[in-house]
Amino acid sequence: MSAEPSSLPTPTPTPSPAPRFGVWFVGARGSVATTAITGSAAVAAGLHPPTGMVTETPDFAACGLPPLSSLVFGGHDTVDCPLPKRAEHLAAGGVLPHGLPSAVHAELAAADAEIRPGGPLPGDTDGGPARTDDDWIAVFTADIRDFVDRQGLAGAVVVNVASTEPAPADGSLPPSSLYAAAALRAGCPYVNFTPSTGLHHPRLAKLAESSGLPYAGRDGKTGQTLLRSVLGPMFLQRALAVRAWSGTNLLGGGDGAALADPAAAAAKNAGKERVLADTLGAAPEGEVHIDDVPALGDWKTAWDHIAFDGFLGSRMILQTIWQGCDSALAAPLVLDLARLTLRARQKGLSGPLTDLGFYFKDPVGDGPSALAEQYVRLRHFAGRLSTAPDASGAPR
């Protein structure tokens, strides 16, 4: 029996599966990465509101950002404590809500299965010849490409949240730069949430320029420096003369331990001091210190002491005390940056994403240093990502 073609039922088109995007963390088993992976799963499942995620506010609704439920996590780390266990440790320390690690155990286990050994560490040669920089870059690139292929991802971003490393003394590529090179070789945008060198190495300048990929950094602005980027402009705009600005940070956790190394702390403090020099016009007297206090775990106390002159030389002091949970401050920003950078790649943007200075202590490019101006630039950026050009509220 033959039927007229017109009488055939119209086949229902099978909806193509929603694209999924990779977030590849360097330092995937650290506090910040574990909190970001746990938090993404919790918010996607509706277990917690997205508090602290700027990209979940109405200004970003028209950006076409990948939803949290579309993110697939993986990464490199040099330790092998499984992510679900790491999350339990964070819950025991009060960083994550009690019970959350077991509620999102499946997502943590899935991300853990996508973590590959990082490096280089002393003894990594296993008695064989030492790997060259190119060998390391090739291994890391292959790991990232395998992740993208195996998971069938529409794209991936590499985000550095590994321990802060000292600035390299010679011309060699530090680990963060090996990973940054691998990210670009694998065709992925790159975000450096740490003060480590990453793409800021002269030997990577050509690769960064020719890659056609967007990148952003350095060093997430989550506490003391966030406050400085608000208060610095206030003193300047009120014509109050800042005489000295001193700061002390007490923190524990892995970050506290890493920053006990004076060379690593120097990399961190340079970013904190840059914000003051940029917002006040000149660096005031005073220093920043970081003390490792293991008992504090991931909780940080940052104290700032600001001596300033008022009318007719009247001497005054402002003191601020910031008590924050470092990973809870950083994780939502890391998720924001991953989504914004993935979208920037999708929109064909390349080179340094100067408009993301809102998120960083030491931003790439020559953007403003005051938080309010940086927020205006971020909204403008959101407009560039949007399919509706006027939806951003960008200045015209």
Ligand X SMILES: NC(=O)c1ccc[n+]([C@@H]2O[C@H](COP(=O)([O-])OP(=O)(O)OC[C@H]3O[C@@H](n4cnc5c(N)ncnc54)[C@H](O)[C@@H]3O)[C@@H](O)[C@H]2O)c1
**Binding residues vs ligand X (CB under 6 A):** 26-27, 29-32, 76-79, 118-119, 161-164, 175, 193-194, 219-220, 222, 253-255, 258, 326-327, 329-330
Pairing of strands 315-325, 214-217: unpaired
Give least dist CB 41 to ligand X, A.
17
Q: Which two three-digit tokens encode residue 347?
A: 């929109």
C-alpha–C-alpha distance, residues 170 and 173, integer Å: 9
Give least dist CB 279 to ligand X, A.
19
Q: How many CB atoms lie within 10 A of CB 301?
A: 17
Q: Which CB sits closer to ligand X, 308 or 358?
A: 358
Give least dist CB 361 to ligand X, A.
7
Give least dist CB 231 to ligand X, A.
18
Give least dist CB 174 to ligand X, A.
9
Q: 171 vs 168, 201, 202, 343, CA distance in Å?
A: 7, 9, 9, 34
What is the widest separation between alpha-carbon atoms in the chain? 102
Give least dist CB 300 to ligand X, A.
7
C-alpha–C-alpha distance, residues 111 and 324, integer Å: 27
Give least dist CB 229 to ligand X, A.
13
- Compute the CA torsion angle 249, 284, 361, 255 (nearest 10 deg): -20
Q: Which CB sits closer to ligand X, 100 or 349?
A: 100
Q: Which CB sits closer to ligand X, 74 or 175?
A: 175
Q: Which CB sits closer to ligand X, 50 or 254?
A: 254
Residue whose tokens read 């002393």: 122
SS3 readout for 362-395: CCCCCCCCCHHHHHHHHHHHHHHHCCCCCCCCCC
Give least dist CB 306 to ligand X, A.
21
Q: Which CB sits closer to ligand X, 79 or 376?
A: 79
Type of residue numbered 144:
I
Q: Which CB sits closer to ligand X, 119 or 286?
A: 119
C-alpha–C-alpha distance, residues 218 and 233, integer Å: 21
337 closest CA partner among 33, 20, 17, 19: 33
Q: Which CB sits closer to ligand X, 85 or 384?
A: 85
Q: What is the 8-class DSSP label of residue 64? A: -
Q: Which CB sits closer to ligand X, 76 or 228?
A: 76
